[in-house]
A and B are shown apart, each in its own frame.
Chain A
Amino acid sequence: MAERTYVTEAMLSVIGRPYGEMVSFPISASDIRRWALAVYYPEEPPRLFWDEDYARTSIHGGIVAPDDFNPFAWMTAQPSGVRRRASSAADDLFEGKLGVPGPGLQFMLNGGLEVTYSGVRMRPGDVVRTASSIVGYREREGRLGLMLFTTMEAAWTNQHGDLIKTQRSTLIRY
């Protein structure tokens, strides 16, 4: 009897192909301030993220964003317009963008992140660009049944072409 799997030949065929290119709007100081307020809640975030007079005296010479800041939230400059999530959100966010059907699984979870930072910080006015690729699939039986682990890779660069970070993320679908 064939071993059960969610991974199809079509899904394997898109491994390594870039998809989902995004270009952010210019980052604003208020974007950074709100992000810092949210993630540090209920503590006050460091002044580096919201006090320009203080930040100017720091080694960064001005306000910088927290390393984990997401400049692509809500809306991007490219692709333009409001993002709408489809009913089968996982497939549309990943394999669907590569033109192949995904596994059609109902649930998806964030499995983890591996990020390497270059030392270049995101700053007000920066425009950040990224594209992703699926680098592999693996499966495992778990508490909730057969689970599909999808690893994606992305690099973020700024308007100068400077690398900000590279990241690998794991999506769990079941």
Chain B
Amino acid sequence: MGVQLVVSDISPGYVLPVIERTVGFHNWNRYAAVNDEFVDIHMDDTAGKAAGYPGAFGMGNLQYAYLHILLNEWMGTAGRIVSLSCQFRAPTLKGMVVTAHGVVTGVRPAGDEVLVDLEVWTQNEDGRRLAPGSAVVALRPDPPAPTPSA
């Protein structure tokens, strides 16, 4: 994050900068510690397999957090998240490279804000969508251009 967002540049099809995390116990343990989520399927391969998965897998809410990071890294101080929804369709497994993505699907004025509709999702390195979803953010319009002096 470092480039000032220009709201007037945003239109359907606009692609957000991607964020990336290589996931495993280093991420899951930290999340478990702050969320008090010490659940066997997130800590133990035997438990993950018993649940029908290849091994231990990551928390869905951590993918949800990554989608928040995607949107906030893009907006910076220019806006806020209005809504964010996703389904956890496939697990994150140890060593997986997870990327979070967003594409603008609509832009609409709303009073003194600009509402932007987005399709958002996380996926693995093979392109499989893990947590598909949608979001709405509210952006502050670009400041008016300075009036040239006479």
In the bound complex, do residue A46 and residue B36 qualify as a contact, i.e. CB atoms below 8 Å apart? no
A interface, size bucket: 20 to 34
In the bound complex, do residue B88 and residue A41 qualify as a contact, i.e. CB atoms below 8 Å apart? no
Contact code string B58-102 (vs A, CB < 8 Å = 1, else 0):
011110111011001000010011111111100000000000000
The CA of A50 and the CA of B61, in the complex, are separated in Å by 22
The CA of A39 and the CA of B30, in the complex, are separated in Å by 8
In the bound complex, do residue A116 and residue B82 qualify as a contact, i.e. CB atoms below 8 Å apart? yes
| CB < 8 Å A-B pair total | 87
In the bound complex, do residue A111 and residue B87 qualify as a contact, i.e. CB atoms below 8 Å apart? yes
A residues near B61, Cβ cutoff 8 Å: 68, 110, 113
The CA of A157 and the CA of B30, in the complex, are separated in Å by 27
The CA of A112 and the CA of B63, in the complex, are separated in Å by 10
Specify the chain B residue showing the minimal Cβ separation from A172: B88
The CA of A58 and the CA of B63, in the complex, are separated in Å by 27
Specify the chain A residue showing the minimal Cβ separation from B66: A39
In the bound complex, do residue A143 and residue B52 qualify as a contact, i.e. CB atoms below 8 Å apart? yes
In the bound complex, do residue B88 and residue A111 qualify as a contact, i.e. CB atoms below 8 Å apart? yes
B residues near A109, Cβ cutoff 8 Å: 51, 60, 88
Residues of chain A at the chain B interface (Cβ within 8 Å) = 34-35, 37-42, 46, 58-59, 66-68, 70, 73-74, 83, 107, 109-117, 119, 143-144, 170
Residues of chain B at the chain A interface (Cβ within 8 Å) = 1, 21, 26-27, 30-31, 33-37, 51-52, 59-62, 64-66, 68-69, 72, 77, 80-88, 131, 133, 138
